Structure 1
Amino acid sequence: MNIQRWLKRLSLASMLGMFLILLMGALVTKTESGRGCGDDWPLCNGRFVPAYTIESLIEYSHRFVVGVVGIILLATTILVFLYSQRKDAKWFVGGAMFFTVLQAILGAFAVLWPQSALVMALHFGFSLLSFAFTLLLYLVFTKFGEALIRGDGTRLSRGARLSIWGVLLYSYVVVYLGAFVRHTESIGGCIGWPLCNGQVIPEMTGGTGVVFTHRLAAALLGLAILAVFLMIRNQAKPGSSVYQAALWSLVLVFFQILSGGFVTLTIGYDMFLVASLLHALLISCLFGILCYLAIISMQTADHREVQAYAAPRLP
């Protein structure tokens, strides 16, 4: 079999595996199964095969999947460094490996030495970065990979490029706030949606302040992505990779905000777990698309800027 096919298949398996890890991590948090294996790691309550309790099975299944995906990612890393000629692929697989190891270590520490909510919120953030890197790695070996190194012919202004990167960094802050809401168990701080406890601006204390801050940050993210899309629409063709990525980002952030309302409205009902997993799924897709948009924006410098930088300076 052609080595490029192996690279593509293994990168796809790594990406799907990381996506599964994200969802399973959210499931562990939402079902409060983080202590399902007690204080043991890598064993579960002193056993290689855990007792058949729901919490232990959920937690141990998560650990097992992380281990399997880690092996797949390791094999992918070796093949990329040995056989791929693309520097960006090596950066992406290296980043994925680094953050996968980091989030695994943080997960082990959380079991052996319980961490604060501030630290545990980083666990989801590191997993999200691992997924984003594996997504970019997979795209390298698809028809979208060419835009990562040569662009698609679009020329964006410096302001548009800076705005894209600013939105990407800000989206990570919003993700962290969402993870902090989960790990502080503040989800019930705001009853009702879009109002919070029947108020436009509630009393900013305790869980209410945490949840409302996340809601406000998510709304600002939606407006920021809308502003970026409008800028790109004026500078890029509808069929370009830049335009399509910006459009998908706008669609995903819209549904992400709605899914946040869905989570709130299902508190106390059986659909709450489904709504929470949907919320995690959408933010993962949104962050991945924003990362792709940010990378390809680096290849879209306006020709006047390129000429200005390339022109020799007079003494």
Structure 2
Amino acid sequence: MMNIQKWLKHLSFASMAGMFLILVMGALVTKTESGRGCGDDWPLCNGKFVPAYTIESFIEYSHRFVVGVVGLILLATTIMVFLYSKRKDAKWYVGGAMLFTVLQAILGAMAVVWPQSSAVLALHFGFSLLSFAFTLLLYLVYTRFGGAMNKGDGTRLTSGVRWAVWGVLIYSYVVVYLGAFVRHTEAVGGCIGWPLCNGQVIPEMAGGTAIVFIHRVAAALLGLSILTLFLFIRAQASRDSAVYQAALYSLILVTLQILSGGFVTLAIGYDIYLLASLLHAMLVSFLFGVLCYLGIASVQTAERSSAKAYAASRLP
């Protein structure tokens, strides 16, 4: 059984790492405008199994290859989890990861074969992010953080804070989608300068400027929301609890995410722009994953508190 548990942990980690690589490579495809590097063909590239070498075709086909390999790893992980894991939540996580991996692969293929709107293309990153979040949760099941996702760690949060956690989590996905929409509409240059937009606190709301400015405002509100949430959780949870640590990491990551957004803007026109964009995508992936963990851990505090209340009510 110990060997099986090690295999489950190794496979879940490989799935998580693979999903993260897919996210980064997907952002690279978008930023280098390599999405059409294989023409209208899928799964072949320009009608060939091994395409002629161009930068665009290499980036796009490498992304497809990695998706295929990670898909096989995730399939193996799914089979192992359903056969050998006793954790019901692990089966939900691996099932969710598989579902959104298939959806993002289908959406990616459709984007190649048929032209898609920017709104639909942004969903591709959103589905990939959900796949990564599910694999992260799956991996955490087999680490020291897994206990808080199953039975809680003794923390008690008020119902208002628990609802706030899930509200912030859902809102963070909206902000991520807006960011992906900015990339796919190529509106990133709509606001020159940071933190001001084109030298104005509130710029003229038109075209790419409006899209970027809305994303900036949404990101700032997300930062304030996570700060407020952290202060409430700090007042109710011990410093060594999983919920407090997740809230603290969320605050750190959202701060870095906002700063990296400014870095992206200031890097426009310089060679470091691509690196700044990839860093931005990486940070938001970790932020969303940690918020998902915080959401699951907060649910367990509710279930544990409810169970205690029920047991107390049954006492003579």
Give the TM-score normalised by structure 1: 0.97
Aligned pairs (5 A) from 1:110-121: 110-121=111-122
Partner residue of 1:47? 48
List per-residue Cα deviations over 1:105-154 (Å, max 9, x = no partner).
00000000010001000000000000000000000111111110111110
CA distance 1:303–1:106, change in 2 (3 Å): closer
Partner residue of 1:106? 107
Partner residue of 2:96? 95
C-alpha distance in 1, partners of 2:36/2:184? 13
On the 8 A contact 2:156/2:305 being kept in 1, the answer is no
Partner residue of 1:300? 301
On the 8 A contact 1:96/1:130 being kept in 2, the answer is yes
Matched, 1:277 2:278: yes
CA distance 1:106–1:157, change in 2 (3 Å): same
C-alpha distance in 2, partners of 1:311/1:258? 48
Amino acid aligned to 1:115: Q
C-alpha distance in 1, partners of 2:312/2:153? 24
C-alpha distance in 1, partners of 2:187/2:146? 41
Shift of 1:306: 5.1
On the 8 A contact 1:157/1:302 being kept in 2, the answer is no
Task: Flag structure 1 segments of 5+ consecutive residues without an equivalent.
Answer: none
Partner residue of 1:145? 146
List per-residue Cα deviations over 1:156-187 (Å, max 9, x = no partner).
00011000000000000000000000000000
C-alpha distance in 2, partners of 1:130/1:62? 16
Partner residue of 1:212? 213
Task: Flag structure 2 segments of 5+ consecutive residues without an equivalent.
Answer: none
List per-residue Cα deviations over 1:192-247 (Å, max 9, x = no partner).
00000000000111000000000000000000000000000000011111100000
Report the 3-state secondary structure (helix = DSSP H, G, I; strand = E; otherwise coil) of the residue aligned with 2:236. Answer: coil
CA distance 1:66–1:302, change in 2 (3 Å): closer
Shift of 1:301: 2.3
RMSD: 1.5
C-alpha distance in 1, partners of 2:202/2:214? 10
Amino acid aligned to 2:107: L
Shift of 1:299: 1.2
CA distance 1:35–1:202, change in 2 (3 Å): same
Amino acid aligned to 2:198: N
C-alpha distance in 1, partners of 2:91/2:20? 20
Partner residue of 2:61? 60
Partner residue of 1:196? 197
Amino acid aligned to 1:178: G
Partner residue of 1:174? 175
List per-residue Cα deviations over 1:74-108 (Å, max 9, x = no partner).
00000000010110000000000000000000000
Shift of 1:282: 0.2
Identity over the aligned pairs, expressed in percent? 78
Shift of 1:188: 0.4
Partner residue of 1:157? 158
Report the 3-state secondary structure (helix = DSSP H, G, I; strand = E; otherwise coil) of the residue aligned with 2:138. Answer: helix
On the 8 A contact 1:15/1:135 being kept in 2, the answer is yes
On the 8 A contact 1:158/1:302 being kept in 2, the answer is no
